[in-house]
Each structure stands twice: as structure tokens, then as C-alpha cells.
Amino acid sequence: MRKQYTVEDRGRLIAEVRATGEPVKKVAERLGISVSSAYLWMKDAPTSAPRFAKLVRLPSAAPAEFAVQVGAATIRVATGFDAELLRSVVAALDNDSR
């Protein structure tokens, strides 16, 4: 009979892999979780950061400005920006580019 894992088991494994940067296999073995389940959980876990966003330099930008490029979109960011709004916009653009 297969072992039944809890939502807490899954959350603990994902959090520990992300926090420590250790290999999935090593964390799974330490927590007593099957390696195959651990890899599936990591694959299915939502990412906290977009995969296709990158910072780019703007040639004519003021020193306090930068840009974030997500796919074909470029977002100009200046001093005083709303970080949560930027995260939401980048996440939405990233989801559209998949």
C-alpha cells in the first residue's frame, strides 16, 4: 500500500527545498518522502517568481529608473513604484507568455 502524504508534508518539502537550495532528492530522503512524489510536487508547485522576467537597462533612463522585460513587454519602473503592483503585472505577463 502506498503511503498517504498530507498537505503539510507537501508544503514542508517545497518550503525546505526553496529555502535551503538543497537538491529535491536530499530533502525528500531526510523528510521520509518518496523522491518521485517530491519531484512531482516541485514540478506542480506554483512559482513565487516569474520565469521569464529580466531587468534591462534603458539607455536614456534617469539613474533611478530601470525596466523589467517579460516576453515582448517592457515595463519602465521609476523611484516610488508600488512593488506589489509590479509583481502582479509581471506575474500576469509571465502567465500570458507561457
What tens digit of pLDDT does each residue of 11-61 get? Answer: 999 989 888 889 999 999 999 999 999 999 999 887 755 556 677 777 776
pTM of structure: 0.49
pLDDT above 90 (res 76) = no
Q: What are the φ and ψ backbone dihedral angles of 54, each rounded to 5 degrees?
A: -145, 150
CB count within 10 Å of CB 26 equals 14
pLDDT above 80 (res 3) = yes
Over residues 67-96, mean pLDDT: 81
Over residues 78-94, mean pLDDT: 83
3-class DSSP state of 89: helix
CB 62 within 8 A of CB 31: no
